[in-house]
Structure 1
Amino acid sequence: MNKKKVIASFILLLAVTAYFVLFYKDKKLRFIPENADAVVLIDVKNLTRQYIFSLITTPSQWGSKTKGKSSASLRESGIIIPDFLQIFHLKGTGVSDWYSVLELKDSQKFIAFLKQQKFTDKGKNVFQKDRVFLSIEGEKCIVGTSYSGFGAINKQIFQDSPKNILNADQFTQNTTGSVSFLSGQKIQNFSIELKDDEIEIKNNSNLQFLNTIASKIQKGNQFLELELDKENIRNFTRFFNKNIADSSQFTSLKAASNLEQINDTIISYEYDDNFNEVEKKSFQKITQPNYIIDIKSDDPNRTWEYFQSKKWINEENQFTAIPFLPNEISRNSKGIIIKSTRKPVSLSSPQKENYILIRNSTLLYSSLKTLSNTEKKIISDIDYVLYVNKSKDYWMKIKAKNGELPLILRW
């Protein structure tokens, strides 16, 4: 055969293979239950292309075997890697309860992989490690941060005939993924874009004016700063199944906080040789916030009465709904002020914008003792998290610290 034809055939075969491996996607979403009210969709092939491009353009990583080994172990665990990873939240469940369904090509191999990863076998093909639960149903696996929704998911997806097969184009268009909120037939989409040193979540591709707001907000140095109007307060409290914004007459909220490491006294009792009770003191370092919260209200007296009805104000005029005490709560003609009493925190001048800014702090991730070393490394690598809203435009940025590697190779 002509050598040129051989080369051309090889290039064509390579191109077709690359297309099916990296670009062709099955866009049918078969694993989202009808009662899902939020969906996170990850375009696995888009993410794979980003990883390959970053690896090719970062020669220092060509000899690295760590990530390749981790990826190979997952691919060889018995899982079918999906074109779109579908993560969902069920209506009426806890805010931290999220689920996903995986297809398996070898369930026994996957069970062996779970045991290798130190998952505890709870019986009946249910496994748990920390806050992650898995239930293997034939050649499918339900994964979740809670076990409570597994029965409903199993019934809707595996036992009933599928009624809710959605299409990926309803959620995402050529981005790394999306976050979507479902209400009946209405879907509100926010794209997820992974860049070299940041992750952006937004509902509008042209949000340059929000960058202007962001540059103005980031000039401070406090751990937490936020300013929200009534609509944003309502949105956030509804997310936690609360109607506090409507019941308390809030019109706006401004707050600031810094972290501090303090000595916490632990008092215990022992008995001496004569069986007399002896008080024993020990100390441990804990991280707690110092804060100030300024709540503007249409009717401060009604707001105060609402807090009292919830038993959030004690006899010492402390606001007990915040677990970090001591603090003091007071009212004036414009609203309510809550502030901690250890160290004063001052509010910045009002920006008349809607934003939440959380800056990283070594006191934050060093105090999260339940996290693994990998999780602590990811958190320590974050510089700040910023949420901004203007009218119907929403934008959230997770900004990583400057580094030699892009995020996809770091994490």
Structure 2
Amino acid sequence: MKKKKIIVPLLVLLAVAVYFVVFHKDKSLRYIPENADAVVLIDSKKLMGQYLFSLATHPSEWSGGDIKSKNSTSFKDSGVRIPDFLQIFHIKDTKFSEWYSVLELKDPQKFIAFLKKRNFTDNGNNRFQKEQFFFVIEGNHCIAGTSDLAFETINKKLLQTPLNPARNAEEFIQNTVGSISFISGQKIQNFSIELHDDEIEIKNNSNQKIFNAIASKLQKSDQFLEMELDQENIRNFSRFFNKSIADSSQATFLRAIADLEQVNDTIVSYEFDDNFNEVEKKTFQKITQPNYSIDIQSKDAEKTWAYFQSEKWINGENQFTAIPFQPNEITKNNNGVVIKSTRRPVVIAPQLKENYILIRNNSLLYSSLKTLSNTEKKVISDIDYVLYGNKSQDYWLKIKAKKGNLPLILRW
């Protein structure tokens, strides 16, 4: 009887502990500025639960053979307080590549030591940088970003303002491991992020029929890149590069195909012999270049051509210089313009009448990734294809990995 009196309270305490550790989440988002136009949330507890489940179902990983040495410090042991929802945001009217996050620190000095151990450069004033990653320590907080241009603004709006209004996680995420949301005034468009054994899906609709129909149409070819985009999709993607290009070019439809080829590149240099005569020297290197064909249909082919000329994208030899891979040729027809590589022309397949971008993995791509770390190269080499699709107001993005013995959460 005494054992039961002890066991029952212990079970209750265990259940309460499991609830708070695994299920209870602080849904208050205090580190999203009012001028954010995009937000990425990662549900840390759900991600950890998915990791532990995958680990439990793959005993081969229990031995810890791939665990880093004891001298290595993991991010969770770096002095950072892991939030229930990691908040990453983009600020309106900044470059698409600029993303930021604010982290709470349990031990700022421990975190600084962690950054130095990871070979971050100390730029003074508690600022650290490694390649395109920036950190600044502000008291018991850290501002992280792919740029440091907005650090002062973020510090004033989020850390120095005592009554900064908090948002609720349920505005952005609904029971998935992550989400990405686009904010326009009071309107929020949410996309779920789901991590499966061999793929990552980002979508705003659970109906997969349309997306699967697009994917099935693309199974017959093996080109590196294929795409078809209507006017609205052209406008959406052009915002990442040049806000006016879609309207100024009059483009209503874009279709493109590309494949990769390894070619010999000749480098000509000059030296002087003993008599100071100039001597030409040729060296060769193998480089990877695409063979491609791009069909741009427009409302007015003459205006499209005139716009490209005004941007100085067409030279005297009718080459489209905005594409760095030469040689190519641009021609005008009644429907718009066509840009083709001339080294080995590629024929565009019949139109599917869908909105999609498909990028397949190709071993020749790796030679262009010399600046990436071995870990980053491994992740990229593990990808089979990336597929974007759109139908009406439904959007999908799938990152498909190659089949492996382990799920992605244990591989990456």
Give me the TM-score of the superposition, normalised by structure 1.
0.96
Quote the offset at 1:269 in angstroms: 2.5
1:188-207 aligned within 5 A: 188-207=189-208
| One-letter amino acid matched to 1:132 | F
Q: Distance in 1 between matches of 2:47 and 2:68?
A: 15
Note the 1:22-33 alignment, pairs <5 A. Answer: 22-33=22-33
Structure 2 CA distance for aligned equivalents of residues 366 and 18 of structure 1: 48
Mapped contact 2:105–2:141 kept (Cα < 8 A)? yes
Contact 1:31 1:101 in 2 (8 A): yes
Distance 1:373 1:15 in 2: 43
C-alpha contact 2:45 2:84 (8 A) present in aligned 1: yes
Structure 2 spans left out of the alignment, 5+ residues: none
Matched, 1:295 2:266: no
Instruction: Report which stretch shifted further, 62-71 or 100-109.
Output: 62-71
Asked if structure 1 preserves the Cα contact closer than 8 Å seen for 2:30 and 2:164, the reply is no
Q: Deviations over 1:314-347 (max 9, x none)?
A: 0000011111111000011111100111111111
**What amino acid is the match of 2:370?**
K
CA distance in structure 1 between the partners assigned to 2:318 and 2:276 by the alignment: 41
Contact 2:43–2:86, Cα closer than 8 Å, also in 1? yes
Q: Which amino acid aligns with 1:135?
A: V
Q: Out of 160-169 and 42-51, give the one that drifted further.
A: 160-169
Q: 1:116 maps to what in 2?
A: 117
The structure-2 alpha-carbon separation of the partners of 1:263 and 1:164, relative to structure 1 and needing over 3 Å to count, comes to farther
Partner of 1:53: 53
How big is the shift at 1:69?
6.6
Shift of 1:34: 1.6
Q: Distance in 1 between matches of 2:353 and 2:101?
A: 39
Whether the 8 Å contact between 2:197 and 2:408 is mirrored in structure 1 is yes
Matched, 1:6 2:28: no
Three-state SS of the structure 1 residue aligned to 2:239 is helix
In structure 2, the CA distance between the partners of 1:372 and 1:162, relative to structure 1 (3 Å rule), is: farther
- Structure 1: distance between partners of 2:132 and 2:81: 23
Equivalent residue runs for 1:30-41 within 5 Å:
30-41=30-41
Q: What's the CA shift for 1:217?
A: 2.0
How far apart, CA to CA, are the structure 1 residues paired with 2:401 and 2:67?
Answer: 20
SS at match of 1:376: helix
Distance 1:241 1:167, change over 3 A: farther
Give distance in 1, aligned partners of 2:264 and 2:98.
34
Please provide the CA RMSD for this pair.
Answer: 1.6
Aligned length: 411
> Using a 3 Å threshold, how does the CA distance of structure 1 residues 162 and 366 change in structure 2: closer, same or farther?
farther
Partner of 2:43: 43
Deviates more, 1:280-289 or 1:373-382: 280-289
**Deviation per CA, 1:271-303, whole angstroms, max 9, x where unpaired?**
333333332222222211111000111211111
Distance 1:162 1:192 in 2: 31
Task: Report the Cα distance in structure 1 between the residues aligned to 2:81 and 2:229, rounded to whole angstroms.
Answer: 43
Q: Secondary structure at the match of 2:142?
A: strand
Aligned pairs for 1:1-400 within 5 A: 2-67=2-67, 73-400=74-401
User: How far did residue 233 of structure 1 move?
Assistant: 0.5
Maintained 8 Å contact 1:30/1:162: no
Question: Contact 1:156–1:162 (CA<8 Å) still a contact in 2?
Answer: no
**What is the deviation of 1:100?**
1.0
Task: State whether residues 73 and 114 of structure 2, in contact with CA within 8 Å, keep that contact through their aligned partners in structure 1.
Answer: no
AA aligned to 1:99 is Y
Q: Distance in 2 between matches of 1:88 and 1:69?
A: 33
Contact 2:181–2:188 (8 Å) recurs in 1: yes
Structure 1 residues 67 and 219: CA distance shift in structure 2, 3 A: farther
How has the CA–CA distance of structure 1 residues 191 and 101 changed in structure 2, closer, same or farther, with 3 Å as cutoff?
same
